[in-house]
Structures are given as structure tokens and as C-alpha cells.
Amino acid sequence: MKFPWPTHPTVPVLAPGLGRTKTGRLWVYVRDDRPFGGTAAPAAGFFYSPDRGAAHPTAHLSTYTGFLQADGYTGYDALYHPARSKPGPIIEVACWAHCRRQIFDVWEGTKSATAKEALDRIARIYAIQDQARFAPIAERVEHRKQTVLLLNSFFDWAGTTVVKLSAKSDLAEAFRYAIKRRQALSRFATDGRLEPDNNIAENAMRVPVLGRKNYLFAGSDSGGERAANIYTLTVSAKLNGLNPETYLRDILTAIAEGHPINRIAELVPWRMVPPVGAPPS
């Protein structure tokens, strides 16, 4: 199953002639079918762009068909539109973590009882997911029968509650964000392949986010593209249980020793995983 979770943080990039940096973007798409027992190897694909335009995810996913789980960034909207010229549909799966984060920020700042109730309702949804973690698809769907009831209850309550709030309040905005995405936020409950959030992609992006603390900037747009390529390899290596430094050393050694270019696919991380019982490198 090809199933990417995208996210796209900033990266400072040197702007020649300006004496300062500009803001570039790193995009990551992660496939990880392990939570439902899928057999496809996990992988992360990073892309660099000089801006946050919607044209970039459209280009990244130009041949993709399947589910796409992401936040509410409007740049993804065209991907879900049935009139787009693509080989097949991309089905939106929204992220509960992003919904919860907005509500939590309100509760943390105001201690609103309404925000607290929303958080408690979301917590009950997640409690069921803990029971279904790493279970087979059919078992996950069985566990999630209760989730459907909790989701319906949450959205019914949110719909009656939001009209009682100040329309311009942050909490009302957070509720509208969730209500607008009700269908996309509910898809995971009846499909055992899906997750309630895209935290898998968020975790993958921790590597470049931490990396920003150890370098000042990318030297150019091409430097940003090279960084994205390196992050693709190292994060995919981590997802497959490999030490990134060891993995890079091994593939660079193989290339230096004449590994044939027409067999370069043999060096992707999931084909470098040692067999079960092999001694550690």
C-alpha cells in the first residue's frame, strides 16, 4: 500500500547578494504500513522547494493514487478535487493531532472548560486506538466500532457548542476546523489501514528540525535539494532499523568499489536490512 503522510517545515537558505537568508521548505512523504501489519517496507521521501506553493505537492504526487493524510494546508485541496488530471483519486484523510493541538493551545492559555471537554472526548477516541495498535486490519476495524460512536458524538456536540462561542474566538476556529473535515477525520474508523493522525510524518521531520540547530543555513536552493536527498536516505534507513551513519558508509563504500549503476536499487535501505539473526555491524 502506498500511503504517504506529508508535512513541510521551513529551512533557512542563503540568498546570494542579499546578505541574509530566505525561507525554503522541506516536504516529507512517509509510507509506513507496519501499524496494520502491511508488508511494504517503510520509507520517507524528502523534497525541497524555495516556497510553500501548492504547485509543489501537486508535482510531487503527480502519479500518486491512494490515501493522503495531512493537515489542513490549502495547498493540498487541488489534490482531492475529482476534476484534476491524475491517474486516479487521492482520498483525503485528515489528522486528529492537528485538530487536538489547536484546542489544546486554547485550553493551555485559558483553561476553558469547553476546550477541556473537547480534549477529553478526543482522548477517549485515542484510547481505543491504543488497543488496535499493530493489530491486523480486521481486528483494528472491530476495535474501532466504538470509535464510530465516539466520533459521531464528538461532532454532534461540537456542532451545537460552536454556535455558543464567540465566532472570532480561537476555540470556535478550532471547532470549525474539525467540523469542516468531519468525513476526512472519520475515515480511519472504518478502514484498518488508516491512522487517526499523521504523527509518523511529524516524527520523520524531527531529523531536519533538529539538524537546523547544528547548521546555519543551506548554501543555495541546490543545496536544499541535496539536503533533501540525504534526509531521504538517512530517515528511510532509520525507519528500517539501520544506523544512518553505518548505512551511508556502506553504500558509499559500495559505490566507490564499483557497484554497477544499473543495480543502484540494491542499495536502498530496505534492501540493506540484515537478515534475522545476523550479527550487528
- Tell me: do 141 and 169 sit in the same domain: yes
- Tell me: do 135 and 174 sit in the same domain: yes
- Tell me: do 138 and 58 sit in the same domain: no
Is 190 inside a domain boundary?
no
Q: Which percentage of the chain shows pLDDT scores above 70?
A: 92
Q: Which percentage of the chain shows pLDDT scores above 90?
A: 62
Is 276 inside a domain boundary?
no
CA separation for the pair 154, 105 (Å, rounded): 19
CA separation for the pair 107, 128 (Å, rounded): 23
Number of domain units in the chain: 3
Q: Residue 107: its pLDDT value, please?
A: 96
Secondary structure in 3-state letters for 17-65: CCCEEEEEEEEEEEECCHHHCCCCCCEEEEEEECCCCCHHHHHHCCCCC
Is the Cβ–Cβ distance between 218 and 224 less than 8 Å?
A: yes
Is the Cβ–Cβ distance between 126 and 97 less than 8 Å?
A: no
For the record, the C-alpha cell of 193 comes out as 489501514
Is 260 inside a domain boundary?
yes
- Tell me: do 37 and 150 sit in the same domain: no
CA separation for the pair 220, 242 (Å, rounded): 30
- Tell me: do 73 and 207 sit in the same domain: yes
- Tell me: do 84 and 100 sit in the same domain: no
C-alpha distances in angstroms, 266 versus 37, 116, 222, 274?
Answer: 24, 51, 26, 13
For the record, the C-alpha cell of 234 comes out as 538517512
Q: Sorting pLDDT into bands at 50, 70 and 90, what band is 281?
A: very low
- Tell me: do 85 and 73 sit in the same domain: yes
Is 228 inside a domain boundary?
yes
Domain containing 244: what range? 240-271
106-135 exposure pattern, b = at least 16 Cβ within 10 A, e = fewer? bbeeeebebbebbeebbeebeebbeebeeb
- Tell me: do 109 and 161 sit in the same domain: yes
- Tell me: do 31 and 42 sit in the same domain: yes
Q: Residue 166: its pLDDT value, please?
A: 95
Interstrand relation of 10-15 and 4-7 (parallel, antiparallel or unpaired)? unpaired
With the C-alpha atoms ordered 234, 237, 242, 248, is the resulting torsion angle positive or negative?
Answer: negative
Is the Cβ–Cβ distance between 197 and 178 less than 8 Å?
A: no
Is 278 inside a domain boundary?
no
- Tell me: do 131 and 164 sit in the same domain: yes
Q: Residue 1: its pLDDT value, please?
A: 35
Q: Residue 268: its pLDDT value, please?
A: 94
| Maximum C-alpha span of the chain | 69
From 183, 181, 178, select the one nearest 161 (Cα to Cα). 178
- Tell me: do 155 and 225 sit in the same domain: no
pLDDT per position as a tens digit, 249-278: 999 999 999 999 999 999 999 998 764 434
- Tell me: do 10 and 89 sit in the same domain: yes
Whether the per-residue pLDDT at 70 is higher than 50: the answer is yes
The overall average pLDDT reported for the chain is: 88
Neighbours of 101 (CB within 10 A): 13
